[in-house]
A and B are shown apart, each in its own frame.
Chain A
C-alpha cells in the first residue's frame, strides 16, 4: 500500500517533469529564448 503510494508519487513526478521538458526548447540550446514562465499549457 505505502510502497505503491510512494512509487506512484515519485513516478508521477518524473513523468510530469519529462512531459514538461519535452516542451522546453531551452533544454538543448540556450540561444533560443525560453518560453514565458506563465505561458506553458496546463501549468
Chain B
C-alpha cells in the first residue's frame, strides 16, 4: 500500500517536472532527504530514482532553463575543489574499499551543491527549494515529535524514526541538529512565504512544526540537540524587536518545560557536566587526540573512513561522594575503530589540513556572506524578505557548525543544499543588483512580495 503511494507520488512529481523542469530539482531534493526507497519494501528499491532525478534535473536545466547572466560564485569553485581533493584522498585512502563507499554518496552531495545555485534564478525558486527541504525533513520530524509525546521519548538510538539503519537524516543526533537548525527557516515562512501565503492555518502548522523540532532532541536524548536549542534561542534574539519580552517568554517556557521533560532526558542532559565519567564523551576526546596525532604525521589526510585504524586507550573518571569527601574511580577503557563524532576532526583525519581548510572556508564564507546580505537589505522595504531569509539561513548554518562539533556530519547532504540555497540567494540578488544598475530608466519592477 505504502509502496503504491510512493510510486504514485513520485510519478506525479516527475510528471510535473516535464511541465516545469525546475521541479526535477525539487524531486531530487525530496528523494535525497526522505529516501522513499528505504521506506518501501519492493517497488522503488529496484529503480535508481535518485539517479533518474539528477539526470532530469541537470538535463532540464541544460536544455530548457534561462542561463543569461549566470556567474560562478567563488564558493561553487571551492566546493568543486573540495570534491577534487576528496577524490585524490579516496584514490590514496588507507582503506580503499570503505573509502570508495563513502565517496559514492559524498561526491553526489558536493556536486549537487555546486550545481544547485545555477537553477535558483528566481525568488520563488529559492522559496520552493527551502519549502521542499523543510517539508521533506518534516516527515521525519513529525514522526519523532509525535512519538516523543506518545512515549515520553525512547532515549538515544531507540526513538523509531521509520528507518532502522541509523543513517542520513534518520540518525538521532543528526536529525536533532538539523531539526533545530531549520527552526528559523520555518519561522520565515510564517511571515514571507508566497507559495502558502501566511494565514492562521499556515502559521499554526509552522508553529506546530517548530514545537515538533524542539521535541526531537528530547525524544532522541541527544545532548548536542539541547546545545543547539540554546544557540538558536540566542541567535533569534538578534532579530527580535522586543528583546526583554522575548527573554521573559523564553525563561517562562524553560521553567514550564522542565517538569514535563522525561527523566531519561534530564538524566542524560545532566551528564553534560560530568562528561568525564561518560564513555561516549571520553571516547570522543580520545579519538580527537588520536586524530590530531595522525594528522601531524599525515597532513594530507588518510581518506574516507580512516578512523577504522584507531586504537585508543582512555580513562573514564567517576567522582562519587560530596565535595569534601569524594572518591575518584578511574577505569581504563581500550577501544578501536571509534568514529570521529565531530565534523572538524572528520575533515582533519580524512582530508588532512588542506581539506579541513577548504571546508572551513566554505562554511565561514557562507556565514559572512549572509551577514553582508542581512545588512545590505535591512532598510530595503521593497525586498523586506531578504534580510530575514539571510538571517535564517545564517542561523541554520551556525547551529549546524555547533552540532558538527559533536557529530561527524561534514558531508551531510541536507547542509550542502542549505549552502546551495545561500549561494543561490547571493547570486540571485547580485544579478538583480546588476540589472538595476544597467537599466536605470526602466519602469520600476512590480513589487515581488508584500512583507
Residues of B near any A CB (own CB < 8 A): 2, 5, 9, 12-13, 16, 19-20, 22-23, 26, 30, 34, 39, 65-66, 121-125, 128, 131-132, 135-136, 138-140, 142-143, 146-147, 150, 162, 194-197, 445-446, 448, 450
Contacts and interface: CB of A to CB of B under 8 A. Distances in A.
A6 B20 contact: no
25 contacts: A2-B143, A2-B147, A3-B162, A5-B142, A6-B143, A7-B5, A7-B39, A10-B139, A10-B142, A11-B9, A13-B135, A14-B132, A16-B196, A18-B23, A18-B26, A21-B195, A24-B195, A26-B122, A27-B22, A28-B22, A28-B122, A30-B445, A34-B124, A37-B194, A37-B450
A28 B146 contact: no
Nearest first, the 6 closest Cβ-Cβ pairs linking A and B are A10-B139, A6-B142, A6-B143, A13-B135, A2-B146, A10-B138
A5 B450 contact: no
Nearest to B122: A30
Contacts, number: 99
A17 B132 contact: yes
A33 interface: yes
Give the secondary structure class of A's interface.
helix
A9 B22 CA distance: 23
Interface of A: 2-7, 9-11, 13-22, 24, 26-31, 33-34, 37, 43
Given A18-B16, A34-B446, A43-B197, 6 more contacts: A5-B146, A7-B39, A10-B139, A17-B195, A29-B122, A30-B123
A10 B135 contact: yes
A7 B138 CA distance: 9
Nearest to A11: B9
Contact of A9 (B123, B138, B195): B138
